[in-house]
């Protein structure tokens, strides 16, 4: 009897171990499941080698996270003499002899009964191993308050892991909408869980200058503030002269130093972006002399000021710095002197994107510059500017990176290129022997809608989760040694708060994380979705918002031969059923199930849709007016 119950207990432990699915994102290089579990309890301890402050920090962060959720005050202790292998221990080790298969950021994690051994060549590797260890624990480990739970088990595994790319970035635009210092730290906390190591911080734009430059105080006295507006950004009514400019904010240099340190403690580099010569209205509003066009300027408050056409654009207000004005280079020298001192990362991003040329074309100063410097067109004027900026940035000991427009008119000698208008700019830059970071809007622009426009907050285009998952930083035929990695970009015109920033970021940033960390041959969409669903449960515990859009139907509308419209439906996630109605009532699983293209009945007003997994509704109730379907089909 006693023997039987012991056997039963052992069996239960194994079953608990197996029933708790291993769902790690990004997928590790190699993962072997073993029998048994490591059980964390009030007597567990974390052991570290003596004398390494960075390892100590990693261990302390682990202990703090474990304590929050479990309530256990797990001590961090220095390792005893060699061979003193104590049980119930999470052991962090730095390899004395570097392991070739781990590089600078890789780790090996061996979990089994009584012990977890996490080893790496560098502290960064231990930090990523800790992220994996947390993902191996039950989802309640994500709780910010202590959870009554007795079986904090880690399934026995052997994991060997290291990233595919050294540049694994997320861009955060804090200009269009301002996010506080604490929110930026929260953004960093969330990105590191998925092993991102670079925060591209978009600090300046037409709608706000967010970094204190001590030698140029008006940048933040004037440039950081605009009229407070809510609704659809870009379509606001123009502010009147007396509307108070109360919306905005900026980071003091002390704030920046604090965030840089916070990021560095988590092995995140910060790439500051000062977006010039376009996107510069906040700077021009602060110092109007920087423009080629004399006038009075205001920081944009979300009213229309650019004209976008098919592949063309122009500015209604001159939001550019004047490449023909020496004061501009003096200004940039001051800005980059202070920026270079604030940010230890080796690169500074100078923007360079979407610079309207229509005011330059009218400027006598620019005409004189073109004659003097023998510049044939506006692209060459822009290129002249970028090359001057490169000299300034290099004089501060940094390297220039810019959006792919910096290729136009000739790339600056040492510039790195961030390819956003697809991958063609990146391919061209590699051909010219320049470093590249891939960030194509077709797959990693996480400000765009992630599902049907009838249900998503409106943005001008869509990038579904599956497109993000298909992101490949090294296109066929491109020499991978020039591709530093990739990143997803969170522009915030339509993002007013942190909850919505989270909604837009997750789960697409999980997909991009896997594209930049995991080996290409480990990517598997269906397997990824299974893991994403597990991570949604963790997000629920952590109270972090995410988009459930992957469960909603994909709607494709076309014209049928007889002039009617035809509606094809699909889903990103396999195995879902779609139910529909045209009678204005809410469909459920007792309604018609979609099996073939739908033709809206004559006089129908709305198509209503919902997805189910078996008997469970899983997508959101969607309504698309038939008039909208007709518009999408190009039929009035």
| Residues known to be catalytic | 205, 279, 354
Reported in sequence order, the residue ranges of 352-421 that DSSP labels E, i.e. its strands, are 399-403, 416-419
Q: Is 403 an interacting residue with respect to ligand ACM (CB under 6 A)?
A: yes
The correct pick among 255, 265, 353, 428 for binding ligand ACM (CB under 6 A) is: 353
DSSP state of 117: E
Residue 331 φ then ψ, to 5°? -60, -50
Q: Is 187 in the site for ligand ACM (CB under 6 A)?
A: no
Q: How far apart are CA 610 and CA 535, in angstroms?
A: 23
Tell me if 258 contacts ligand ACM by CB under 6 A.
Answer: no
Tell the smallest beta-carbon distance from residue 354 to ligand ACM (Å). Answer: 5
Are 84 and 73 a contacting pair, CB within 8 Å? no
Please select the residue that binds ligand ACM; options are 209, 247, 336, 420, rule is CB under 6 A.
Answer: 420
CB of 461 to ligand ACM, least distance (A): 11
Q: Are 34 and 202 contacting, i.e. CB atoms less than 8 angstroms apart?
A: no
Binding mask 97-136 for ligand ACM (x = CB under 6 A): ----------------------------------------
The residue sitting closest to ligand ACM, measured at its beta carbon, is: 353
The footprint of ligand ACM on residues 524-553 (CB under 6 A) is none
Chain residues 506-525 in contact with ligand ACM, contact rule CB under 6 A: none
Instruction: Give the integer Cα–Cα distance in Å for 131 and 388.
Output: 42
Beta bridge partners of 39: 153
Find the helix packing angle between 378-395 and 326-342, rounded to 10°.
40
361: how many CB neighbours lie within 10 A of its CB?
14
Question: Any contact of residue 503 with ligand ACM (CB under 6 A)?
Answer: no
Q: DSSP states of 408-454 as a string?
A: TT---TT-EEEE-SSSHHHHHHHHTT--EEE--HHHHBTTSBSS-TT
Distance from C-alpha of 346 to C-alpha of 400, rounded to nearest angstrom: 9
Q: Which letter, b or e, does each residue of 525-552 get, where b requires 16 or more Cβ atoms within 10 Å of its Cβ?
A: eeebbebbbbbbebbebbebbbbebbbb
The CB-of-305 to ligand ACM minimum distance in angstroms stands at 15
Least distance to ligand ACM, CB of residue 448, Å: 10
- Tell me the two tokens of residue 79: 């390792």
Number of Cβ within 10 Å of residue 231's Cβ equals 11
**Binding residues for ligand ACM, total number by CB under 6 A:** 4
Nearest distance, CB of residue 401 and ligand ACM, angstroms: 12
Give me the helix-helix angle, 364-373 and 378-395, nearest 10°.
80
Q: Which is nearer to ligand ACM, 233 or 551 (CB)?
A: 233
Residue 354 found at the interface with ligand ACM (CB under 6 A) = yes
Query: At its nearest, how many Å lie between ligand ACM and the CB of residue 447?
Result: 9
CB of 449 to ligand ACM, least distance (A): 16
- Positions that interact with ligand ACM (CB under 6 A): 353-354, 403, 420
């Amino acid at each position: 009897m006693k023997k039987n119950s012991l056997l039963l207990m052992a069996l239960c432990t194994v079953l608990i171990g197996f029933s708790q699915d291993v769902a790690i994102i990004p997928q590790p290089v190699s993962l072997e499941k073993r029998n048994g579990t490591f059980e964390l309890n009030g007597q567990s301890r974390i052991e570290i080698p003596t004398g390494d402050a960075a390892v100590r920090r990693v261990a302390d962060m682990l202990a703090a996270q474990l304590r929050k959720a479990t309530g256990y005050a797990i001590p961090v202790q220095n390792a005893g003499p060699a061979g003193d292998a104590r049980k119930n221990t999470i052991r962090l080790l730095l390899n004395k002899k570097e392991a070739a298969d781990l590089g600078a950021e890789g780790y090996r994690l061996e979990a089994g009964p009584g012990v977890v051994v996490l080893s790496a060549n560098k502290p960064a590797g231990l930090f990523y191993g800790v992220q994996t260890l947390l993902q191996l624990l039950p989802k309640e480990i994500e709780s910010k308050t202590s959870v009554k739970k007795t079986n904090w088990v880690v399934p026995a595994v052997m994991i060997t892991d290291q990233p595919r790319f050294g540049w694994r970035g997320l861009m955060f635009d804090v200009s269009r909408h301002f996010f506080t210092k604490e929110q930026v730290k929260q953004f960093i906390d969330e990105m590191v869980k998925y092993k991102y190591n670079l925060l591209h911080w978009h600090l300046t734009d037409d709608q706000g200058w967010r970094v204190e430059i001590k030698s140029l105080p008006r940048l933040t006295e004037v440039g950081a503030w605009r009229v407070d507006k809510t609704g659809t950004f870009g379509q606001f009514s123009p502010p009147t002269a007396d509307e108070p400019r109360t919306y905005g904010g900026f980071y003091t240099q002390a704030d920046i130093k604090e965030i840089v340190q916070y990021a560095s403690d988590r092995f995140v580099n910060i790439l500051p972006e000062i977006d010039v010569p376009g996107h510069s209205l906040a700077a021009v509003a602060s110092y109007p002399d920087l423009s080629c066009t004399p006038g009075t300027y205001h920081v944009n408050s979300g009213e229309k000021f650019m004209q976008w056409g098919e592949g063309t654009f122009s500015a209604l207000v001159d939001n550019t710095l004047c490449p023909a004005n020496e004061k501009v280079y003096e200004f940039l020298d001051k800005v980059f002197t202070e920026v270079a001192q604030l940010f230890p990362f080796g690169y500074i991003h100078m923007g360079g994107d979407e610079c309207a040329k229509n005011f330059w074309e009218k400027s006598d100063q620019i005409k004189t510059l073109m004659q003097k410097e023998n510049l044939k067109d506006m692209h060459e004027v822009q290129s002249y500017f970028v090359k001057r900026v490169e000299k300034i940035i290099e004089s501060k000991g940094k390297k220039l990176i810019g959006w792919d427009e910096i290729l136009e008119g000739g790339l600056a000698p040492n510039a790195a290129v961030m390819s956003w208008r697809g991958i063609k700019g990146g391919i061209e830059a590699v051909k010219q022997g320049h470093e590249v970071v891939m960030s194509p809007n077709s797959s990693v622009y996480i400000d765009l809608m992630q599902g049907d426009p009838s249900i998503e907050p409106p943005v001008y285009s869509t990038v579904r989760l599956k497109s993000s998952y298909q992101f490949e930083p090294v296109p066929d035929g491109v020499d991978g040694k020039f591709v530093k990695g990739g990143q997803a970009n969170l522009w915030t015109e339509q993002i007013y708060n942190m909850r919505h920033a989270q909604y837009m970021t997750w789960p697409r940033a999980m997909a991009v994380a896997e594209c930049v960390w995991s080996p290409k041959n480990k990517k598997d969409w269906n397997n990824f979705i299974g893991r994403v669903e597990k991570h949604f449960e963790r997000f629920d515990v952590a109270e972090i918002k995410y988009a459930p859009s992957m469960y909603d139907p994909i709607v494709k509308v076309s014209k049928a031969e007889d002039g009617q419209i035809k509606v094809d439906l699909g889903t990103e996630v396999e195995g879902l059923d779609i139910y529909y109605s045209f009678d204005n009532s809410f469909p459920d699983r007792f309604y018609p199930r979609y099996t073939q293209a739908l033709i809206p009945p004559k006089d129908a007003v709305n198509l209503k849709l919902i997805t189910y997994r078996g008997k469970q509704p899983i997508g959101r109730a969607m309504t698309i007016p038939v008039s909208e379907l007709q518009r999408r089909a190009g039929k009035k």
